[in-house]
Amino acid sequence: MSKQEDTKFIKTFIGVIIALIVLTVALIVLATRTGSPTESELQARQALDRERAEERLQPVGAVRLSGEPMPEIAQAQPEPAAAAGTQTPEQVVQSVCASCHDTGLLGAPTRGDKAAWEARLTSKGLDTLVSSAINGFGAMPPRGGASISDDEVRETVLFMLREAGLEVE
């Protein structure tokens, strides 16, 4: 190796070493800044751990001696059933009749199928269709299986006929 090459090698070598030192220092600084949690973070974490442990250690039940007041328990309040007569025909169709009449399940005339509804209407008349819906007909359960009044059934039948494009009073 010539002297020139030696100098070049040493210069490069020193350069690399300096770069490594700078990198090390930078990593140390970075690690101390971000790595370990601060004192207050540690305390918060410990408090949370303690809280969770206490929650887990709570007894699952307690014996109440007779005469002791009832503890307040969140009691499931049953939802008040929708008062009869509050549903619009459209809502009844959606919640009761649609399950069969949307898809034609069990051979039910499909909603909006004008021909199917017209055939029934002209051959039987509105009153018969309504009484079929009230009392049940073939595979159709009385009132579609819902507890709705005769009037509601009638209004719902009218609604279904009208949505199929038929004119009924």
> Which residues make up the interface to ligand HEC (CB under 6 A)?
92, 96-97, 99-101, 105-109, 120, 124, 128-129, 132-133, 137-141, 143-146, 153, 156-157, 160
Minimum distance, C-beta of residue 167 to ligand HEC, in the bound complex (Å)? 16
84 vs 106 by CB, closer to ligand HEC = 106
Q: String of b and e for 96-106 (b: at least 16 CB within 10 Å)?
A: bbeebbeeeee
Residues 6 or more apart in contact with residue 76 via CB below 8 angstroms: none
Angle (nearest 5°) at CA 151 between 135 and 134: 5
137 vs 166 by CB, closer to ligand HEC = 137
7 vs 103 by CB, closer to ligand HEC = 103
Minimum distance, C-beta of residue 80 to ligand HEC, in the bound complex (Å)? 22
22 vs 139 by CB, closer to ligand HEC = 139
Chain position whose Cβ is nearest to ligand HEC: 138
71 vs 107 by CB, closer to ligand HEC = 107
Minimum distance, C-beta of residue 126 to ligand HEC, in the bound complex (Å)? 9
Task: Give the count of alpha carbons within 13 A of 159, CB side only.
Answer: 18
Minimum distance, C-beta of residue 79 to ligand HEC, in the bound complex (Å)? 21
CA-based nearest residue to 102, from 94, 93, 110: 110
Long-range contacts of 106-110 (CB under 8 A, 24+ apart): 106/139, 106/140, 107/138, 107/139, 108/139, 108/140
